[in-house]
Amino acid sequence: MQPTITRRSFLKGTITAACSIATSSSIAKAAAGLENGQPIATLLDISKCVGCQECVYACRDVNATKYPKPQKPFPKMYPNGVKAEDWSDKTDVIDRLTPYNWLYIQSATVEIDGEQKELTIPRRCMHCSNPPCVKLCPWGAAVQLDNGISRIEADICLGGAKCQTVCPWLIPQRQTGVGLYLDILPAFAGNGVMYKCDRCYSRITKGEIPACIEACPEDVQTIGPRDEILKQAHELAKSMNGYIYGENENGGTNTIYVSPVPFDKLNSVIEKGKGKPHLAAVKDSMETGNKLAMAMILAPVAGVVGAAMKFYSINKNDD
């Protein structure tokens, strides 16, 4: 008997085929954060990190083409106190964030179960849910992608470093002598380009995972939709009786750390300073602005009420 293709079997076969294709590309979709239209986040299990720096070197390899190639000598800048920031002769620095090093390993010696232990922590941009670097950039050079990645467009950035000032962790780093400011008024406005982790956005677009995650031999990092990552983070924290950082910091970030020791303890022992971000609690930087934005809705109402009151008052006096 000849097999017959009914409409039902055709649809069933088509759906099965579609499902298998979808399954094979599910990792790519998850990485792109497109499955349910929500941001993707990374989970970093600090207890697994051995500080081998594989992630640091992988980051440098993959992003080398994006690193600045400044023109020297730098244009004279006015007023005289404006300083050039030049990392082009220190590209091998890996113990802090620089325009040539977007990820570094921070270390903290802490006591766990009565034993002195060194914890190592990969540090880079936190990719905030509502990133002040993006929202407050006066030039539109910093952008947030719909998968939650924030990045700085090197061709547009003027290097004013406002993004660094408003970042609670002071993440973006400046290189002078490169970028659009050279073509405008190099003496009077701008000072280069700001650089930071863009969480390998172009790799993610292609369905690949960020280089730092791929290179890690200890599987310190996990990537996925933010709600799933948060769920995993809470389960992990519960299993090790640990602590979470990044879930609520600055109103929430897409980088979630889980540590066996409290973060305020870690923060007290890590080396902090320029290019070396802290691990302190951070309140939502954009909260005041967003509350005022909500209050702004009342402004036209106040105007209408004022005019109506005057109109009513005049008519009453006329009567």
Partner 1 sequence: MRFYERVIKYFYIVIITFLTLTGFGQMPIFKRYRIADIPGLGWLAEFYITHAMHYIFASFLIALSVYLFFDHIFIGRKERKVTPTGYVKGVMILGLIITGGLMVFKNLSGILYYPIAISILDLSHLILCMALLFYSIFTLITAKRWTIK
Provide the binding-site residues for partner 1, judged by CB under 8 A: 79, 81-82, 129-130, 135-140, 143-146, 153, 156, 160-162, 165-166, 189, 251, 285-286, 288-290, 292-293, 295-296, 298-300, 302-304, 306-308, 310-311, 314
- Shortest distance in whole angstroms from residue 125 CB to partner 1: 17
Peptide bond before residue 73 is cis, with ω within 30 degrees of 0: yes
- Shortest distance in whole angstroms from residue 177 CB to partner 1: 17
Q: Is the dihedral of CA 206, 96, 120, 169 positive or negative?
A: negative
What number of other Cβ atoms are within 10 A of residue 11's Cβ?
10
- Shortest distance in whole angstroms from residue 12 CB to partner 1: 39
In the complex with partner 1, the residue whose CB is nearer, 217 or 303, is 303
* Distance, CA of 181 to CA of 162 (rounded, Å): 15
Q: Where does residue 319 rank: exposed (0-12), middle (13-18), buried (19+ CB within 10 A)?
A: exposed
Residue 174 · residue 85 · CB < 8 Å: yes
- Shortest distance in whole angstroms from residue 100 CB to partner 1: 23
- Shortest distance in whole angstroms from residue 284 CB to partner 1: 9
What number of other Cβ atoms are within 10 A of residue 265's Cβ?
15
Residue 209 · residue 223 · CB < 8 Å: yes
In the complex with partner 1, the residue whose CB is nearer, 159 or 260, is 159
In the complex with partner 1, the residue whose CB is nearer, 60 or 127, is 127
- Shortest distance in whole angstroms from residue 303 CB to partner 1: 3
* Distance, CA of 200 to CA of 194 (rounded, Å): 16
Closest among 195, 197, 53, 59 to 124, alpha carbons compared: 197
In the complex with partner 1, the residue whose CB is nearer, 15 or 82, is 82
In the complex with partner 1, the residue whose CB is nearer, 140 or 207, is 140
Residue whose entry in the numeric block shows the structure tokens 């007023």? 79
In the complex with partner 1, the residue whose CB is nearer, 119 or 178, is 178
- Shortest distance in whole angstroms from residue 138 CB to partner 1: 5
Residue whose entry in the numeric block shows the structure tokens 């890590």? 270
Half-sphere exposure at residue 86, Cβ-oriented, CA atoms within 13 angstroms? 12
In the complex with partner 1, the residue whose CB is nearer, 72 or 291, is 291
In the complex with partner 1, the residue whose CB is nearer, 10 or 311, is 311
- Shortest distance in whole angstroms from residue 207 CB to partner 1: 21
In the complex with partner 1, the residue whose CB is nearer, 186 or 242, is 186
If you write DSSP's letter for every residue of 224-277 in order, what string do you get? Answer: EEHHHHHHHHHHHHHHTT-EEESSSGGG-BSEEEEESS-HHHHHHHS--BTTB-
- Shortest distance in whole angstroms from residue 317 CB to partner 1: 12
What number of other Cβ atoms are within 10 A of residue 188's Cβ?
12
Closest among 194, 188, 200, 193 to 167, alpha carbons compared: 194
